[in-house]
Amino acid sequence: MKIIGQMGGKLNKRMLDFSSRERFKNFLKRLAERVKVAEGVDAIESILRCIYRNQPVSTKRISQYTKLPLPVVSKVRSILERSRILKRDEKGAVYTEYGKNLVENNLKFKMKMDLKCPTCKGRGIILDENFKNILRRHREYAKLRPKVNTRIDQSHATPETAVYRAAIMADRGDLEGKKVLFIGDDDLTSIPSAMTGFPEEVVVMDIDERLLNLIDEISKREGLNIETVKQDFREELDRKYWGRFDTVFTDPPYTLNGLKLFLSRGVEGLGEGDRGVLYLAFSHKPIEEYLEVQRIVNSMNFAIYELIPGFNIYEGSEIIGNTTFLARLVGKNLKKFKKEEIDLSKLYTGEVRPTLRYYRCLKCGRVYKVDGRNVVIEDLICECGGRKFKMVKREKVKNRN
């Protein structure tokens, strides 16, 4: 299969004349347009700032730092290198002297290091010996997770993320003596939460029986007494669970309809007329979409009490920069969305933004087209027997019936 076009493309040579601040700003604008990043010039400046403060720094680290998709960061880095602003070091991207002068003169960069806590890495909490012990045990259980089903937007968070989630819920007083509901749990966050011995009750609901069976097995082995329920979240929860819980955790599909749906199921668990706490893991969004996220949250009578960017780290989820934020929502007189207010045909990212991806086999070089519906990367095996692939191109599908 022949691949059309290149990831970076060529910049007009006239753009390489950065003798004035206006020319440099115009270059950044053109660069943002070329890589089609929704955040525009702000995203490019964020990449440049990350490198300035952390050089040498890997593309993956830049992606996590800026909350931008890895393919976007990779394109920007390649173009900046061809423009002599950056150069490659064995440990990652670094500025050329020319590039350093450009950003210092035109963007007024001065801070040469980050001020984030190197111990907690911005999460705001650390693990004590109890949670470190839980992490050691949970790492082994995380290896048993079934293969992700990307058709329903599954993506495994790291074992460390699951334990840090349990730790922050415990720190905020949302585990001790509480009844806790997990609306979906492909990250197995319920396991370290129950391992603390703090909750009065832990219930996990998910549509994936593979996950539920694994949680049942671990729960029995560890004596955790976790209740599992097979649940299609397009349908209301069984009435016996309404208003039963104090704390809800959910990591829904990263679409607005997915957010409405999973939060609505959470409201059922908390009780519509009551006060409750809900932890939401969700992807970093361009400002226009994030404003809509806030409107959805507020319309349900939740307030965003805390939001920690980059709290959740995922294994291989390059399209979301491998990270999402964690928000602690506190609500009163809660409201849920009615069924007719949620478009169930646009719950998952593949339904909202259908995309074709092309992957090259690292063994023989053969290229395959993956549509995320009929063919997913998790199931792909090359004719040569290779199972490792690298994405070489993405293109949006304008019309999908």
pLDDT of residue 352: 67
Confidence of residue 295 (pLDDT cuts 50, 70, 90): very high
pLDDT of residue 240: 97
Strands (E), 123-261: 179-183, 201-206, 227-230, 247-250
Is the per-residue pLDDT at 141 higher than 90? yes
pLDDT of residue 375: 67
CA distance 173 to 305: 14
Token digits of residue 333: 């007189």
Q: DSSP letters along 252-290, please? A: --SSHHHHHHHHHHHHHHH-TTS-EEEEEEE----HHHH
Token digits of residue 79: 């173009």
pLDDT of residue 46: 95
Is the per-residue pLDDT at 9 higher than 70? no
Which range among 137-146, 272-281, 365-374 shows the weakest confidence by mean pLDDT? 365-374
Confidence of residue 16 (pLDDT cuts 50, 70, 90): low
Which range among 56-65, 171-180, 238-247 shows the weakest confidence by mean pLDDT? 56-65
CA distance 7 to 34: 10
CB 248 within 8 A of CB 174: no
pLDDT of residue 317: 53
Residues in Cβ contact with 74 at an 8 Å cutoff, skipping those fewer than 6 apart = 7, 59
Torsion of CA 92, 98, 104, 106, to 10 degrees: -120
pLDDT of residue 374: 67
Is the per-residue pLDDT at 108 higher than 70? yes
User: Could you tell me what percent of the chain has a pLDDT over 70?
Assistant: 88
- Please name the helix (run of DSSP H) or strand (run of DSSP E) that holds residue 47, with its range, or none: helix 41-54
Per the prediction, the chain carries an average pLDDT of: 88
Is the per-residue pLDDT at 115 higher than 80? yes
Confidence of residue 20 (pLDDT cuts 50, 70, 90): confident
Higher pLDDT, 236 or 1: 236
Q: What angle do CA 107, 111, 113 make, to 5 degrees?
A: 130
Token digits of residue 211: 């996950």
Residues in Cβ contact with 56 at an 8 Å cutoff, skipping those fewer than 6 apart = 89, 90, 91, 92, 93, 94
CA distance 339 to 299: 15
Q: How many CA atoms lie within 13 A of 123 on its CB side?
A: 22
User: Could you tell me what percent of the chain has a pLDDT over 90?
Assistant: 64
* pLDDT tens readout for residues 298-348: 999 999 999 999 999 998 655 545 889 999 999 999 999 999 999 998 887
Task: Tell which residue, 120, 205, 228, 226, has the closest CA to residue 167.
Answer: 120
CB 51 within 8 A of CB 86: yes
Q: For the packed helices 70-82 and 41-54, what is the interaxial angle rounded to 10 degrees?
A: 80
Confidence of residue 19 (pLDDT cuts 50, 70, 90): low
Token digits of residue 327: 């928000």
Is the per-residue pLDDT at 377 higher than 80? no
- Please name the helix (run of DSSP H) or strand (run of DSSP E) that holds residue 394, with its range, or none: strand 389-396
pLDDT of residue 365: 86
Which range among 1-5, 6-10, 152-156 shows the weakest confidence by mean pLDDT? 1-5
Query: DSSP secondary-structure letter at 152?
Result: G
* pLDDT tens readout for residues 154-187: 678 999 999 999 999 999 999 999 999 999 999 9
Region 378-391 average pLDDT: 80
CA distance 173 to 169: 6
Most confident stretch, 12-16, 185-189, 363-367: 185-189
CA distance 368 to 383: 10
CA distance 347 to 2: 32
CB 202 within 8 A of CB 226: yes
Chain centroid offset of residue 110 CA: 30
CA distance 203 to 317: 27
Q: For the packed helices 97-106 and 41-54, what is the interaxial angle rounded to 10 degrees?
A: 120
Region 43-70 average pLDDT: 92
pLDDT of residue 4: 29
pLDDT of residue 146: 87
pLDDT of residue 354: 65
Q: How many residues does the chain have?
A: 401
Which range among 128-137, 190-199, 272-281 shows the weakest confidence by mean pLDDT? 272-281
Asked whether the CA dihedral 285, 288, 292, 295 is positive or negative, the reply is: positive
Domains of the chain: 13-106 (1.10.10.10), 129-345 (3.40.50.150), 354-396 (no CATH)
CA distance 299 to 334: 9
Token digits of residue 162: 């699951």
